[in-house]
Structure 1
Amino acid sequence: MGDSSEAGGLTARDVRLARGGRAVLDGARLTVPRGAVTALVAPSGAGKSTLLRCLNRLLDPDAGTIELAGRNVRGIDPRELRRRVGLVAQTPTMLPGTVRDNVAYALPAATDGDVARALRAAGLPDAFAGRDAAGLSGGERARVALARALSRAPEVLLLDEPTAALDADTAALVGRTLRALADDGVGVCMAVHDVPFAREHADRVVGLDDREPPR
């Protein structure tokens, strides 16, 4: 697929981060090309979530280089970076109010059409916008969080265990949604421990060394 920096994607090289004298990341590498789904597979506690947080500077690593479209992310304003590189947490937080309020958060100029497009991209109907966010199921919250990230039209979308606690049918729907986003040119990276799901829905399945793990 070529170098991700040339295609506008995200590249991490030799990322290192220590906490409390323990190496959380020890030379992690990752390539997230645009127009493809990359699955980052590693055991729980291996540092997948930490690496995702480093990629849009919610954490700054001790060493290593992270580039977006060939530019070091340290030279990009954090607000711009987090618009261009969206992150959906494993347990997303819903804000008080409606689904529309959540999707349009920090986008005061967002129209109903903008919200509807983001909801549809996340596999939700337009009418969902009026639902009370406090009453959503876990799967619905996950997809609203996805719509919230998509409302900013990111170049790269990072997802931490996007199918955790979802039933098989909903997980498959999320997988198809991510496939459609990649087909539209978004670089998608999902950190997962479910290897069969990763192999079914991703173009690339890699470990923290950016290599395909042994089968």
Structure 2
Amino acid sequence: LEEAGLAPRARQPAAILSAGEKQKLALARAWALRPEVLFLDEPTANLDPGATKAIEQTINAMHAAGVKIIMTTHDMGQARRLADEILFLHRGRLCESGPAATFFAQPETREAAAFLRGELLV
């Protein structure tokens, strides 16, 4: 709980925590198991900016502690802040993969380039 910033809430039932605190608790529970790899699906969906920042800080701390984070996100700002590598999927197939900096600066596929321009891919 300390690592996730929830020590002050240790005696509160999880049911009365905010959405952001519940997400932090879920990450703390996962981190307590000391996984080598952690899969996250849109971990900050529907959270306010403050809660999003706290979750991203926890994810970064886990990564710094050696946990390989594999996550989905449609939030390109978040991907830029957190990703080392990008796997870009479209229509269920891997279109592009590589270092995040390269993906954002020079996407290799037209689908990735269109997505980064904000176009809707169908």
Q: Select which of 113, 120, 125 maps to 2:2.
A: 120
| Residue of 34, 37, 40 corresponding to 1:153 | 34
Deviation at 1:139?
A: 0.9
Bigger strand share: 1
2:56 equivalent to 1:172: no
Match of 2:16 in 1: 135
Q: How does 1:73-88 map to 2 (within 5 A)?
A: none
Distance 1:151 1:199 in 2: 27
Within 2, Cα distance between the matches of 1:150 and 1:187? 11
1:141 to partner: Cα distance: 0.9
The separation in 2 between residues aligned to 1:172 and 1:125, in whole angstroms, is 15
Alignment partners' CA distance in 1, 2:2 and 2:85: 25
- With CA pairs under 8 Å and 6+ residues apart, which has the higher RCO, 1 or 2? 1
2:119 is matched with which residue? none
SS at match of 1:196: helix
Following TM superposition, where does structure 1 have runs of at least 4 consecutive aligned residues deviating by more than 6 angstroms? Answer: none
Equivalent in the alignment of 2:75: 194
Structure 2: where are the runs of 5+ without partners?
98-102, 104-111, 117-122
Q: Percent same amino acid at aligned positions?
A: 40
Structure 1 residues 146 and 139: CA distance shift in structure 2, 3 A? same
CA contact (8 A) 1:163 1:171 kept: yes
Correspondence for 2:64? 183
Paired with 1:150 and 1:181, the residues of 2 have a C-alpha distance of: 7
Normalised by the length of structure 1, the TM-score is: 0.41
1:17: which partner in 2?
none
User: Structure 1, unaligned stretches of length 5 or more?
Assistant: 1-118
Q: How big is the shift at 1:149?
A: 0.9
Q: C-alpha distance in 2, partners of 1:141/1:162?
A: 11
Larger helix proportion of the pair: 2
2:44 is the counterpart of 1:163: yes
Distance of aligned partners of 1:125 and 1:136 in 2 relative to their CA distance in 1, 3 Å threshold: closer
